[in-house]
Amino acid sequence: MSELITELMSEAIRTATTQVVSTARSAAPAGRPRDGRPRGGWFAGLLVGIAAGAITFAGCNSRTTPVVEVHDGRKVAVQLNWYAEAEHGGVYQAAADGTYEAAGFNVEVRPGGRATPVAAEVVLGRADFAITNADDVALFRAEGADIVAVMASMQDHPRCILVREDSGVNSLDELSGLTLQRQEGQGFIEFLRLNGKLEGVREVPYHGSVSGLVGDPKVAIQAYSIAEPFLAKAEGVNVRSLMVSDLGWNPYCSVLVTRGELIREQPELVRDFVAATITGWQNYLADPTKGNAAILAANQHGMTAEALQFGSTELVSLAVPEPMQVAELGKMEPDRWQTLITQMEQVQLLKPGAVKAEDCYTREFLPTVATADASAAGATP
């Protein structure tokens, strides 16, 4: 048995190495763990996935993280890019309220964590779908992973720079003089730098806590507007979210992705799963009770009902910004993807021409209302 495992691992590693070496590699440092891009990029994640798969094959796998499963139907596994939170609400809602089951699916929702190898899990077939962000899709493809976005749960990204209200800072133009806790190499940081917003800013590492900001009005932190503001307020500090999307860096968030192979070989499965996931998100936005209960059960990392309620409320305007209609949920616009690729090239996260925008996504499985021209649908792109 051990010889077989070794042979399988060696062959997978040789194949992956050949593929990655022959593909244009992104010059970007590793993404933040919450964005589902482990240190070392997709290839490192692939090796982790191969090793994990070998352990599972040998019968040594043990699972300690709770999962949500819907039984009886087409088996589908969904890998999340982070611990279960409001940004995954539509998936948990569809699992909890019977939407997936009604569509004929047996779904396992797998929470992520720090350095979860999202792309590797999907490419290796250990997961059929995953949740990530649009810029990570482009990075995965630059590294040789055939990852394709099939719907966007949030039109506007929750990425923000969080400052205290008593800091005197009211916009991204006023950051000079502050200390910014951030993860170096992130696309939004490089975009801020390219646009001159970090001049006079002292940059230091971010360690995933609001404590620095709570203790000093001259400290700002990178944040998600659906999470960290609540945590800061719980510490007695009023804060202001300076949305990076207002500056133009606005990748689709909580994007549902799959591998190109599944799209080509089982398009009906993909179509049905996208439709069920969109319904799950629509139900979650209308009443997140069941989805939030499932998230609380799955999140073993300090999530509270109050924090989750804050997140699920705040993300409504991100998922369906005015004048967009709920029926359009999931939509993706070609010009948004092209803008993202151009921006990533400008900040040197992608080599020019390494990734084509049209390869990053497909609108084939979206409902007609979500693929209509923005002008015809009465929505902004």
Encode the chain (381 residues) as per-residue pLDDT tens digits. 444 444 444 444 444 433 433 333 333 333 334 554 444 465 555 555 554 444 444 444 444 444 554 445 799 999 999 999 999 999 999 999 999 999 999 999 999 998 899 999 999 999 999 999 999 999 999 999 999 999 999 999 999 999 999 999 999 999 999 999 999 989 999 999 999 999 999 999 999 999 999 999 999 999 999 999 999 999 999 999 999 999 999 999 999 999 999 999 999 999 999 999 999 999 999 999 999 999 999 998 999 999 999 999 999 999 999 999 999 999 999 999 999 999 999 999 999 999 999 999 999 999 987 777 544 443 333
Write the single-letter amino acid at 194. L
Q: Considering only the top CATH level, what class is 2-155+251-377?
A: alpha beta
Report CA dihedral (311, 313, 314, 315) to the nearest 10 degrees. Answer: 80
Q: Report residue 130 as tokens.
A: 């995953």
CATH 3.40.190.10 domain span(s) along the chain = 2-155+251-377, 159-247
pLDDT at 343: 98
The token duo for 289 is 């009770």
Reference 206, options 239, 159, 169; nearest CA is 159
E strands, 183-289, in order: 202-205, 219-224, 239-243, 253-259
* Superfamily for domain range 159-247: Periplasmic binding protein-like II (3.40.190.10)
**Bridging pattern class, strands 179-182 and 202-205:** parallel
d(CA 354, CA 236): 47
pTM value?
0.83
User: 174: how many CB neighbours lie within 10 A of its CB?
Assistant: 14
pLDDT for res 371? 77
The burial of 324, by beta-carbon neighbours within 10 Å (0-12 exposed, 13-18 middle, 19 or more buried), is given as: buried
The pLDDT assigned to 28 comes to 33
